[in-house]
Amino acid sequence: MKHFFATAPGLYPVFLFLFLPLLAGAQGFAWTPGLQRAYADLQKLDAQSAWTLVAQESPDNGVRIFLDDYADMLRLVTSDDEQLFSAISDREDDRLDALKKLDGSSPWQRVLLAEVRLHWAFVKLKFGKEVSASWDVIRAYKLLADNQKRFPTFLPTYKSLGTLHVMIGSVPDNYAWVASLLGLHGNVQQGQQELIRAQQDAIFGLEARLIDLMVRAYVLKFSTADGQTLKQLVNDHPDNLLLHFFGATIEQKNGHSEQALAYLSTRPIGKNYLTLPVIENILGDIFLQKGQYSTATAHFQQFLATYKGHNFLKDSYYKLFLCQWLANKADANSLVYLKKVTTVGHTTVESDKAAQKFAESYLQKGASLNQKVLMRARLASDGGFTDSALAYLRPYTEATFDLTVDKAEYTYRMGRIFQRRNDNDAAIPYLSRALTLSEPDQLSFGATAALQLGYIYQQKNDRPRARVFFKKALSFKRHEYKNSIDNKARAALSQL
């Protein structure tokens, strides 16, 4: 069961917006002016005033119970503080018990019970408690499904239920039987339709729109129009730190690091906002992609100095090594960073898995000068700096590289560069060659190349070929990006 819910790590950011408050009018669920203001502040990560306002409300109000829980969830996921998690994790049961004592005839009771369970499901996933998190998700789903049957016109249900349906629909085929066995049903189209329906609600339209954008970014294919919608959303809320943060993560993931940097550079800053140490890690990534190694180093070091969790530690030490290596300053001191990769943190997130794999390989075998060129091209391409990426690779051909893995990476990078430059006809031969080279050893470049070929043929409206390549992406069994690639391929097949 835990493997079923572990198949969607790329959806972790989507979870944050599952947990947005619900206007209430039934007995036991009063949405007072103070709670409305607290809700608005929490959505901005402006936590100090929110906590003060919530503390002034009746402890028996279901909305206050929910907001107390929401605030705890935000503290935990922004800090990754395991000591804090250990200290307050028993609050889940206390709040569930308190909500169960309120008006059971109100649709708000089941919705808020589900939201609290989803809060803790996300938190537990962050702290490696997959089995317990899975049960919370299952129970939340059943509460929301029951609420939908009892109150089919009650829009607040569809925000979280729609997101869960997307998640269920993007689970790879080999885990679909688990979903069915557990009574979880849904698909991507159904989930998206429910999110669109939730956008009609005057209160939750903003949250539902953002969830939909995050689904497009992390599960489906993020389009230029989606980027414009996101930009307008962020610009309309200049004091909302959470929107600026998610805007940056979405754009960085989709190869638009300059736009991501713009969101972070204009983010609101103040003592009332919750701290987000991970922003320093993101900024380090962006400047590394831009080849500004000293600036990148400063951001990674700041992240390590302020972060209390265990995720992204391997990734940050790996990137500190890259800053030295790519600047041709690799020496015994820089190898200290690489050795740290093998001893610190966890390998829960994919970036940490990739860092661990690189460190082990480099420490055993070293790397060639050609691999350094490939790394520079990869980073530039990932950030959307395609002119620089192409300039790195133009002097080379596949024959330049001796190792199959390097040949596969070279052809994959060239294909992705042309794809990002909207020259799909030039991209196809390179991506196809990367797929051919990668299949025998199940290299990740083959799985990602197959996924991108599927998107290209989907764009060309060649559905049979698109389906073939999405299935090919799923067929790769052993690589560090399997979870996220499988989620996207599965979701694309569902759309077809």
User: In which region does residue 92 sit, left (phi positive, over 0), alpha (psi from -120 to 50) or beta (all else)?
Assistant: alpha
Kindly state whether residues 17 and 116 are assigned to the same domain.
Answer: yes
Residue 308 shares a structural domain with residue 376 = no
- 73 and 185 inside one domain: yes
So what's the pLDDT on residue 418? 96
Cα(337)–Cα(317) distance, integer angstroms: 5
CA distance 266 to 250: 16
Q: Cα–Cα–Cα angle for 10, 16, 19, nearest 5°?
A: 140
- Please report the pLDDT score of residue 352 as a whole number: 92
Residues 115 and 211 both lie in one domain? yes
The pLDDT score that the predictor gives to residue 181 is 67
pTM: 0.85
With b for 16 or more beta-carbon neighbours within 10 A and e for fewer, the 283-309 pattern comes to bbbbbbbbbebeebbbbbebbbeebeb
Q: Which domain holds residue 415?
A: 368-496
Instruction: Choose one of 331, 358, 385: the last residue of a domain.
Output: 358
In percent, how much of the chain has pLDDT > 70?
93
The lowest-confidence range among 153-162, 176-185, 463-472 is: 176-185
Boundary-marking domain end, from 335, 358, 381? 358
Kindly tell me if the per-residue pLDDT of 191 is higher than 90.
Answer: yes
- Provide the pLDDT for residue 5: 45
Runs of H (alpha helix) within 273-400: 278-289, 293-306, 313-326, 332-341, 350-365, 369-382, 386-393
Indicate if the pLDDT at residue 4 is higher than 80. Answer: no
State the average pLDDT over residues 390-412: 94
The reported pLDDT for the residue numbered 220 is 83
pLDDT digits (tens, 9 = 90+) for 257-303: 999 999 999 999 999 999 999 999 999 999 999 999 999 999 999 99
Do 469 and 375 fall into the same domain? yes
Tell me the pLDDT band of 490, cut-offs 50, 70 and 90. Answer: confident
Alpha-carbon span 79 to 273, nearest angstrom: 13
Lowest mean pLDDT among 174-188, 333-347, 380-394, 447-461: 174-188
CA distances from 272 to 50, 52, 339, 394, 419 (A): 9, 11, 38, 49, 42
Tally of domains in the chain = 3
- pLDDT category at 172 given cuts 50, 70, 90 is low
Check whether 173 has a pLDDT greater than 80: no
Q: Is residue 158 part of a domain?
A: yes
Confidence at residue 146, expressed as pLDDT on a 0 to 100 scale: 97
| Residue (of 379, 372, 375) closest to 290 by Cα position | 379
What CATH number does residue 400 fall under?
1.25.40.10
What's the rounded mean pLDDT across residues 182-208? Answer: 86
User: Within this chain, do residues 58 and 182 fall inside the same structural domain, yes or no?
Assistant: yes
Q: Is 186 left (phi over 0), alpha (psi -120 to 50) or beta?
A: left
**What does the pLDDT average to over 128-150?**
94
Q: Who contacts 12 (Cβ-Cβ below 8 Å, separation ≥6)?
A: 122, 125, 126
